[in-house]
Structure 1
Amino acid sequence: MKKPHKMRADQLLFESKMASSREKARAMILSGIVFSNGIRIEKAGQRLMSESVLELKGEPLKYVSRGGLKLEGALRNFEVDATGLEVLDVGASTGGFSDCLLQHGASKIFCIDVGYGQLDWKLRSDARITVLERTNFRHLSFDRVGRKIDLIVIDASFISLQLLLPKTQEFLKPGGRILALVKPQFEAGPEEIGKRGLVNNEDIQHRILEELETFSTGLDYKILGKMESVITGKKSGNREFFLYLQSLHDSSSIGHKKISDPLHIHHTP
């Protein structure tokens, strides 16, 4: 019998067979449904005794990370049908966006991330997924994808969308679309960012969105819509927004629902 010892909460949850992977365990803890002795586990790295009994309260997370809930909200709001779509997932990380897209019928997804080993095993072993790790999207060659894409989704950190959007033109089909998550703390100036990376000023949020819209139209993208994400950023707590774009080439062939005014979309803390 092993001697009791301390271990990370996400590791214990995984080894207790309550989560399919360490990544899923982290997501479940962050969603607030994991408890030990009646006390909610707040952090994946929290140290617990190996014999601790864990329990789940509330609905299990339906995707490998809470990012899937963000994208699900955008798909629903913009009435995007992902059935049969081929997708680039820029900043895939654990794979929340990709998991959401697969569950909504996407036929092929290229998961791109500068990191390594983050993508959930469920997705990594799915034949519809091609993993492009240790890959900077800005330097991605077309040959590594080898085809034009229906939809590009972007959930990137520590970089402005203005540095990523120009590259998308290389991969989109005529009339192809983009769902880009806008994270204000990576678009605002240093003097506009408060403690813990918060950007609470609505004027700054409005300006960031307007600047990204202007930048996008300069790249020959049409603004199909914008909305506030249904949940806030995991670490910063920032309000985040989606921009829904489409290449102007042959744009009449793809239907969409236009949504504007992101600051009046219902917001769930």
Structure 2
Amino acid sequence: MAGQPRRRLDAELVRRGLARSREQAVELIAAGRVTIGGQAAAKPATQVETSAAIVVVSAQDAEIEYASRGGHKLAGALAAFGPQGLSVQGRRCLDAGASTGGFTDVLLRAGARQVVAVDVGYGQLAWRLRTDPRVVVVDRTNVRDLTLEQIGGEAAELIVGDLSFISLTLVLPALVRCARPDADLALMVKPQFEVGRERLGAGGVVRDPALHADAVRTVAAAAWALGLGVLGVTASPLPGPSGNVEYFVWLRAGAVPLDEEQLAHAVAEGPAGAAASVYPRGDRHGDGHRERA
């Protein structure tokens, strides 16, 4: 936003409570633990807007290198939904739009029994995941046309998805066909692919929070028509590559319709709120991501 105030990065970290002092802020930046809009920060003197998406990664998480940046998004969603009952442990999972495998990586680390990694491309999945005996690779497959037979005949207990250039409303029927009746679906809603081209801003970015809410409502309505309710909504703790705010919806058959109050809260808080809700308020420096506007 034009005319927004800017501050030095180290000072902004202190203002947000992400560092105790300027000295600690400098140390965090030097250790590579500070990102701005998903990119590692290099200099304490960098000028940042007061609304910038700034994340301080824990020392432990800084050592985790998922197969892609997207892994941190799903890790955040699982941390947000986990206390409400979303579990990965021991489940057969489906990763829709696996690409290089960030989501698959997170699922395996969280104890998945098996992950079926589906993607329309070929050969993109990281080699260490492709050769993992717990991973079933289904390349050259459009998720929109996915069948139970293509994933081995055994329905998935948990489905995650990070899909681009297609609305989730078009792929939900196929995902439901591949899911157990009691399956959980944790899917990323990307407003830029849900609101229509005529409502996109410059660079394909959807900036209006009202449109963010509309995107989630659109997906929730399509899910409801298929018998799926909404157990949770949270913003991704990291924005998309172009700066788009993205959201995760947690769906399950028999759950309640979308809670407008919960949606309004998720949209109002955005990525900053996702980080704050995922990681305890006292955890500012050591045990998780924190991002605050």
What range describes the TM-score normalised by the shorter chain of this pair? 0.7 to 0.9
Q: Do structure 1's residue 262 and structure 2's residue 266 form an aligned pair?
A: yes
Which of 237, 243, 248 matches 2:243?
237
User: Is contact 1:89–1:152 with CA below 8 Å preserved after alignment?
Assistant: yes
1:14 counterpart residue number: none
Separation in structure 1 between the aligned mates of residue 225 and residue 147 of structure 2, nearest angstrom: 23
How far residue 185 of structure 1 moved from its aligned partner, in angstroms, is 0.7
Structure 2 counterparts to residues 7-26 of structure 1, below 5 A: none
User: Is contact 2:195–2:215 with CA below 8 Å preserved after alignment?
Assistant: yes
Higher relative CO (Cα under 8 Å, sequence separation at least 6) belongs to 2
Q: Do structure 1's residue 179 and structure 2's residue 182 form an aligned pair?
A: no
How far residue 61 of structure 1 moved from its aligned partner, in angstroms, is 4.4
Larger deviation, residues 134-143 vs 124-133:
134-143
Q: Do structure 1's residue 67 and structure 2's residue 73 form an aligned pair?
A: no
Which of 191, 196, 210 matches 1:189?
196
User: Is contact 1:151–1:177 with CA below 8 Å preserved after alignment?
Assistant: yes
- What amino acid does structure 1 have at the position aligned with 2:69? R
1:101 counterpart residue number: 107
How far residue 34 of structure 1 moved from its aligned partner, in angstroms, is 10
Separation in structure 1 between the aligned mates of residue 128 and residue 65 of structure 2, nearest angstrom: 13
Larger deviation, residues 142-151 vs 104-113:
142-151
Please give the root-mean-square deviation of Cα atoms over the aligned residues, in Å. Answer: 2.3
Q: Deviations over 1:129-164 (max 9, x none)?
A: 011111111222322221111011110000000001
Give the secondary structure class of the aligned counterpart of 2:62.
coil
Q: Do structure 1's residue 214 and structure 2's residue 227 form an aligned pair?
A: no
Separation in structure 2 between the aligned mates of residue 202 and residue 168 of structure 1, nearest angstrom: 28
Separation in structure 1 between the aligned mates of residue 111 and residue 250 of structure 2, nearest angstrom: 19
How far residue 180 of structure 1 moved from its aligned partner, in angstroms, is 0.6
Q: Do structure 1's residue 129 and structure 2's residue 132 form an aligned pair?
A: no
How far residue 215 of structure 1 moved from its aligned partner, in angstroms, is 1.7
- What amino acid does structure 2 have at the position aligned with 1:63? Y
Q: Deviations over 1:73-105 (max 9, x none)?
A: 111101122110101100000100000010000
Structure 2 counterparts to residues 17-96 of structure 1, below 5 A: 32=39, 59-79=62-82, 80-96=86-102
TM-score (norm 1): 0.73
Give the secondary structure class of the aligned counterpart of 2:177.
coil
User: Is contact 1:31–1:61 with CA below 8 Å preserved after alignment?
Assistant: no
1:112 counterpart residue number: 118
Which of 130, 136, 144 matches 1:138?
144
In the alignment, structure 1 segments of 5+ residues that lack a partner are 1-29, 36-57, 252-258
How far residue 196 of structure 1 moved from its aligned partner, in angstroms, is 1.3
- Runs (4+) of structure 1 exceeding 6 A deviation are none
Q: Deviations over 1:219-269 (max 9, x none)?
A: 1001101010000002x2100000100022xx7xxxxxxx65321251538
1:150 counterpart residue number: 157
1:18 counterpart residue number: none
The count of residues paired between Structure 1 and Structure 2 equals 210
How far residue 175 of structure 1 moved from its aligned partner, in angstroms, is 1.3
Separation in structure 1 between the aligned mates of residue 66 and residue 144 of structure 2, nearest angstrom: 27
In the alignment, structure 2 segments of 5+ residues that lack a partner are 1-36, 43-60, 256-261, 275-290
Q: Structure 1's 237 and 33: CA in aligned 2 closer, same or farther, altered over 3 A?
A: closer
- What amino acid does structure 1 have at the position aligned with 2:62? E
1:159 counterpart residue number: 166
User: Is contact 2:190–2:215 with CA below 8 Å preserved after alignment?
Assistant: no
Separation in structure 1 between the aligned mates of residue 160 and residue 180 of structure 2, nearest angstrom: 14
- What amino acid does structure 2 have at the position aligned with 1:230? P
In terms of fraction of residues, the more helix-rich structure is 2
Separation in structure 2 between the aligned mates of residue 198 and residue 61 of structure 1, nearest angstrom: 29
How far residue 188 of structure 1 moved from its aligned partner, in angstroms, is 1.4
Q: Among the aligned pairs, what percent are the same residue?
A: 38
1:255 counterpart residue number: none
Separation in structure 2 between the aligned mates of residue 78 and residue 60 of structure 1, nearest angstrom: 23
How far residue 62 of structure 1 moved from its aligned partner, in angstroms, is 2.8
User: Is contact 1:95–1:123 with CA below 8 Å preserved after alignment?
Assistant: yes
Separation in structure 1 between the aligned mates of residue 188 and residue 81 of structure 2, nearest angstrom: 14
